[in-house]
Amino acid sequence: MSDPKTTLGDLQLAIMRVLWQHREASAAEVHRLLLDERGLALTTIATMLRKMEEKGIVAHRAIGRVFVYRPTIDSEDVHRSMVGELVERLFQGDPRELALHLLREGDIDFDEIEDLRRQIAEQRASNRASREDSHDSTRSERRGGRS
């Protein structure tokens, strides 16, 4: 199961997007930036930020009487965790099923597929190079560090 710190609800995710984008913000700034999208009261945002701080998702520093919040978790960690949970819950842990679902439902077009193919090829080449580098360094260590 994923770490509860990296599995966020909708409001938490919206708040984190503001903090990731702006690096830090007060409750009032978060409220202002989310007002059109969410229409929530400032007290709701402030309460959620306090709860998120209790969970270790954000931290604050005081500037006078104002708390300025910053994220303590990385967006990539959250994305990885939440996508992993989605794959686990809906596709029995098989990421290929997620990709096939996106293809079948038409949620991805051919240009995006070509872009994915290019990125897959780049990732394969990068993984291959990493394995070769690792293999070369292991061989060098076995020979006592001599090249």
Please report whether residue 79 resides in a domain: no
Question: How many whole angstroms separate alpha carbon 13 and alpha carbon 11?
Answer: 5
What does the pLDDT look like over 69-123, one tens digit per residue?
999 999 999 999 999 999 999 999 999 999 889 888 877 888 988 998 999 999 9
Domain region containing 11: 4-71
On the question of pLDDT at 130 being above 90, the answer is: no
Please report whether residue 130 resides in a domain: yes
Please report whether residue 66 resides in a domain: yes
> H-type helices in 39-94, by residue range?
42-54, 75-91
- Opening angle at CA 85, ends 77 and 128, nearest 5: 60
Question: How many whole angstroms separate alpha carbon 31 and alpha carbon 102?
Answer: 34
Please report whether residue 102 resides in a domain: no
**How many folded domains does the chain comprise?**
2
The model's pTM? 0.73
What whole-number percentage of the chain has pLDDT above 90? Answer: 71
Q: Are residues 10 and 60 in the same domain?
A: yes
Average pLDDT rounded to a whole number, residues 62-74: 97
